[in-house]
A and B are shown apart, each in its own frame.
Chain A
């Protein structure tokens, strides 16, 4: 195995991903499932967990694209390059791109998941027999509405199990029409269209209007690929037309004639010589699962292996029963170590399999609330005050390795070593009697373990149960016009950054004085975090800047590597 120069890897184990768009080749549910299984390949052998985001920036942004898709590394049409991914890091780093000029399947021909019918969304069974004839593709036989269908068992006559196949007459995905079906004919820029088209788009994706006039209604969606659709070419996915004429000769099946690469193609009208309309014939396709597992290996920090049987070998080959090769395991464990303890169970989304727009919601936005965890530590003063229902805290800080969340005279704490939810609330006045109810900021000095609390223009220093203060923050050298200290970041031993408004100051804790050269602008040093963060603290080697319910997490290289919810990620509600 090989890793990228400098052993590029994620500096956190809870890696996030986001699926930005979908291929028309497979149902959304199948694509989501393929990606989830591909991540599981790696999480099974490492301490890594993968959590899906539905908006915002994830570590691994996944997308489909064709040819020049915007990253400077264009794809090359069908076959050849299948996908690529970037090693871990910010921006495009860590992202995975899949060539949508490929035919994406599960590796063994069209993977057709049905809708409606009576088979509960089962996959088509090819071949299947219907009225004595065998079918290897979806068919419109037996129907008058032209909707393609298939049997989901080998014999429709015996089992009567069927469902409808992907078709633009049944639904669209993406766009702005909530998955409505195409309406034909439709008008676009004054011209009438009887089928899906790529006109008006530069990305090559087929679309249709979902009302009779796009120009007036502006409603559209992308067309799912039929299993009989041609791939690439210039026919917008129309099916093959047999027989067809090519260079004066008639063809009754797909052919590689006329091509130097041996690929099978067909005409989509009855005469190629006249119409020049063509496309590649559907084939086994490429397993999205296998290719994604390989690409995610790159996104986690693995380069290409020269072991032919390894997943990280650069060439594609289909394997039925996939197992991660020892070489891949050694490679990924070199970067992240092995998996210990029980199988991690990060919160999972519950996406509907209906239509694309409806799943575009943030999974972490509204999960089921969890019950407060029973605790053996001091009893909560008021169990009805639930930290999970707080939208904003006065301050958040780490004391003795545990995150403490302060709000209106109460505090809660979470352990850094378990996924249990918050304990509390506990009374601030019981634990630190000298303090007021509202704490704006706090930090624990790493050297002396003294606790510094700030409230308004005053601060207190606790050493165990003894307290000094209140003292004015002006005594530290902070200007008299600041209203409160809103956050504190440890910077090495004996130095702490204090944040207020759009500025921060560096406090020499031992000297109890602000260093010269301050204040400095927060956004000049900590780019990409909110200027008006009300909680700033350091936790597990990261800087956190909170605003309302959200936090921006920054790594030691001062890159924002995650934005998330305080409630779910820090409070573990």
Chain B
């Protein structure tokens, strides 16, 4: 029985994008595009939950609203796009 090939990731000098985990990618994406934002009201700060943020993102992108970081959601997050946030702050 053959073992699966194990990819070796290297850090390329001068590369702007660093290798990041799916969770890191998702968190960065949700924050950058306004789905997960810190709400400031009368000094009270609350963080929209990741699941809710993922659902909002899935609704915007026309994906099934699972609230989970499934493959289609991650794939959508990796696609090239406009830098303007989807949810205004």
Residues of A within 8 A of B (CB): 4-5, 67, 73, 75-85, 99, 101-102, 232-234, 247, 257-261, 265, 276, 278, 286, 291, 294-295, 298, 303-304, 306, 308, 314-316
Contacts and interface: CB of A to CB of B under 8 A. Distances in A.
Interface residues of B, number: 27
Contact of A315 (B7, B16, B76): B76
A4 B33 CA distance: 15
B83 A83 contact: yes
25 contacts: A77-B15, A77-B16, A78-B16, A80-B17, A80-B81, A81-B82, A81-B83, A82-B82, A233-B14, A247-B10, A257-B7, A260-B9, A260-B19, A294-B82, A298-B82, A303-B84, A304-B82, A306-B59, A306-B61, A314-B33, A314-B82, A314-B84, A314-B86, A316-B80, A316-B82
B43 interface: no
Interface string B57-68: 001111000000
Interface in B6-62: 7-10, 12-17, 19-20, 33, 59-62
B3 interface: no
B79 interface: yes
Lowest 10 A-B CB distances belong to which pairs?
A: A77-B16, A234-B14, A84-B83, A81-B83, A260-B19, A316-B80, A258-B10, A315-B81, A77-B17, A314-B81
Contacts of A82: 80-83
Interface of B: 7-10, 12-17, 19-20, 33, 59-62, 76, 78-84, 86, 88
Contacts of A259: 9-10, 12, 19
Given A83-B83, A306-B60, A5 B16 contact: no
Contact of A261 (B14, B19, B61, B88): B19
Contacts of A233: 12, 14-15
B83 A75 contact: yes
Given A77-B17, A261-B17, A308-B62, A83 B12 contact: no
B13 A84 contact: no
Nearest to A279: B14
A233 B62 CA distance: 34
